[in-house]
Structures are given as C-alpha cells and as structure tokens.
Amino acid sequence: MKKQIATTLLLLFSCITLWAQTPAQDSIFTRNGTVILGKVREIGTTEIRYVQPQINEEVVMVILKSEVERIVYANGVEQRFEKEKTGLETIEGNSEDLFAVQRKKALKLDVLGLAVNTLSLTYEQSLRPGRNIELGIGGIGLGFGLEGEHAKGIFLKGGYKFAQNPDHYLTGMRYAHILKGKYVKLEFDFASYSVEAKKDWFEADQKYSITKFAFLVVFGHQWIYDDRLLIDLYTGVGIGTNNLDDNDLSFPYGFATTGSDFPVAASFGLRLGLLIN
C-alpha cells in the first residue's frame, strides 16, 4: 500500500514539474475563428511574428496583422486589433471600406489648355473601384490668348475610364487610392468655335468656323496626394473629322483632327485637381 502511494506521489510530482517547466503561451485569436498557441515575439505595422515552442522554438512564424482579432498573453493581458483597410492584388478585390471612406469625386483644370486660350474643367466620379466616368467642358477664348489669334467657342468631352493597373504600397499590399493609377479611357470629344487669325501685312487675315468631333482611346496616369490633390497626365489617339474636311487650320483647340481624307484625331494634356466628397 505504501509502495503504491509512493508511486502515485512520484508521478504527480513529475507531472507538476513538467508543467512548471513548460513555458506559458500566448493565444492568438484570428478573425476566422482559429486560435494559435505560441509566444509573440514582435508586432509590426502589418505583421505579427511568433514562435511555437511545442513545434520548434527556433522557427519564427508570421501572420498578417489584419487577420488577427486579439491576443491574450500568458499573463492574462488582452490586446485587440481594429480591422485594417487592406486590399487584394486586384483593384476589383479591394476593401469596400476603402471605397466608403475615400473621396470618390474630383474637379480638374487642364493647365496646358490655359496656355493656349482655353479654360477646361473636368468632373470625375468613381462608380466602383476601377470604373470611373468623366465629363468635361471647355470655353475657348477664356485662357491666355495666342498672339495674333482670337478664338471663341466651346468643346465637350465625356468618357468611361478603366483602371489598367492598381497602385499598392508594397508593405501589406494596401491599395493607395481608388482614383489613383494608370488607366485607359474611351472618350467622345466635340468642339465648335470660330477663329480670326491676324496675318502679316502680305497675307490676308484668316477667318473661319469649325465643328469637329472624335472618338479617342486615352492613356493616362493619375496621382493622388493625401486624398485631396491630384495630377492627371494623359494622351489620346483615335478617329475624328471636321466640317472643313481638312486639318485644323490654326491651333487645334481641345483636340486635333485631320479631316475626312485621313480621319485621325489626337489629344494630350496635364490636369491639376481637387478631390471632393
């Protein structure tokens, strides 16, 4: 009897000793319901590093911080993490939270147009990540006039924009902005204006009116700063013509056309803008 008691006590003592030697572990609770037991070594901006002594205490494992809901440390202290607004590698898969909090509309001014006697304003709105619409209106004769030439009229633009490649911050693959990045746009342009060009004393003054239109494929890149400012650089090429059946006789306000014999159209520009709610 005494021998059995001694054996039981010895086994109990061994279990207590083994339990005491086992390091206390932290519990990592993920957002999908999994609990990971280990020892947290580091909490970074986007990642949490930990080891699992029961597997191999020399191997450091990593989990995205966005996947962790909370950590309960071995001493009982609990730390919670807010859900981060991270996106996937495709623009279509970006977090709906980003689309909700970022400004989705913008007003843009074509600064190159101002230098050639044109005031051009463009309104852009994001319909969903990767799909935007743009509407533009311009007043010809409202910028800084070209020497010896007076023009007066309007032009209109409208297009549907496709994001070509999303921009990400490499750390954590966070999508920068729903309006930012390279794009391809299908655009329709229309312009109607009159021109009076003063020539040298041996040439007659030139007066004419022109109406033109074009269908363009526009390639561009838009940069966003602090969810407030933007820069939009673009160039477009397509088909177009005008009522004169000839190339634009003077400066091609709004966009350029070459006439019905060779119906090519082109445009380029640099816009600065503000994002609005």
CATH number at residue 33: 2.30.30.100
- Structural domain contains residue 198: yes
Last residue of a domain, one of 84, 100, 133: 84
- The answer to whether position 246 is within a domain reads yes
Residues 80, 146, single domain; the answer is: no
Are 78 and 99 members of one domain?
A: no
DSSP class of residue 62 equals E
Between residues 181 and 171, which one has the greater pLDDT?
A: 181
Predicted confidence (pLDDT) per residue in 119-141, tens digit: 999 999 999 878 999 999 999 98
Sequence letter at residue 95: S
Determine, yes or no, domain membership for 194: yes
Structural domain ending residue among the three candidates 34, 59, 84: 84
Q: Are residues 77 and 97 in the same domain?
A: no
Q: Burial code of 55-64, b = ≥16 C-beta within 10 A, e = fewer?
A: eeeeeeeebe
Q: Considering only CA atoms, which of 54, 219, 33, 195 is closest in space to residue 118? A: 195
Question: Domain containing 168: what range?
Answer: 91-276
191 and 254 Cβ atoms separated by less than 8 Å: yes
Q: Is the pLDDT of residue 112 over 80?
A: yes
Residue 178 shares a structural domain with residue 96: yes
Strand partners for 276: 105
What is the structure's pLDDT at 87? 41
Residues 206 and 122 in one domain: yes
Clarify whether residues 188 and 157 are in a common domain: yes
Question: Across the chain, what does the average pLDDT equal?
Answer: 82
pLDDT (tens digit per residue) in 200-240: 655 667 788 999 999 999 999 999 988 899 999 999 999 99
What residue type is assigned to position 255 of the chain?
F
Indicate whether 20 pLDDT > 70. Answer: no
- Half-sphere exposure of residue 31: CA atoms within 13 angstroms, side-chain side: 12
Per mean pLDDT, which range of 92-106, 135-149, 195-209, 230-244 is the poorest?
92-106
- Percent share of the chain, pLDDT over 90: 49
Q: Where are the alpha helices (DSSP H) in the chain?
A: 2-21, 96-101, 111-114
- 196: burial class by Cβ within 10 Å (0-12, 13-18, 19+)? middle
Domain final position from 84, 104, 121: 84
Q: Is 7 part of a structural domain of the chain?
A: no
Count of domains forming the chain? 2
Q: Are residues 46 and 152 in the same domain?
A: no
Assess whether 60 and 117 both reside in one domain.
no
Tokens of 205: 């003054």
Provide Rg for the chain, Cα atoms: 33
Structure tokens belonging to residue 247: 């190339």
Specify if 2 maps to a domain.
Answer: no
Q: How far is CA 229 from CA 4, 120, 266, in A?
A: 82, 17, 27
Please indicate whether residue 88 or residue 53 has the higher confidence score (pLDDT).
53
- Could you tell me if 72 and 118 lie in one domain? no
Answer yes or no: do 41 and 127 share one domain. no
One domain for residues 167 and 230: yes
Q: Is residue 5 part of a domain?
A: no
State the CATH number of the domain containing residue 161: 2.40.160.20
Cβ atoms 124, 274 nearer than 8 A: no
- Does 258 lie in the same domain as 146? yes
φ/ψ of residue 18, rounded to 5? -65, -40
Nearest to 91 by CA among 130, 53, 146, 61: 130
Pick from 3, 65, 61, 75: nearest CA to 29: 65
With respect to residue 262, please indicate whether it lies within any of the assigned structural domains. yes
- From start to end of 16-55, where are the E strands? 26-30, 35-43, 47-52
Q: Predicted confidence band at 178 (pLDDT cuts at 50, 70, 90)?
A: confident
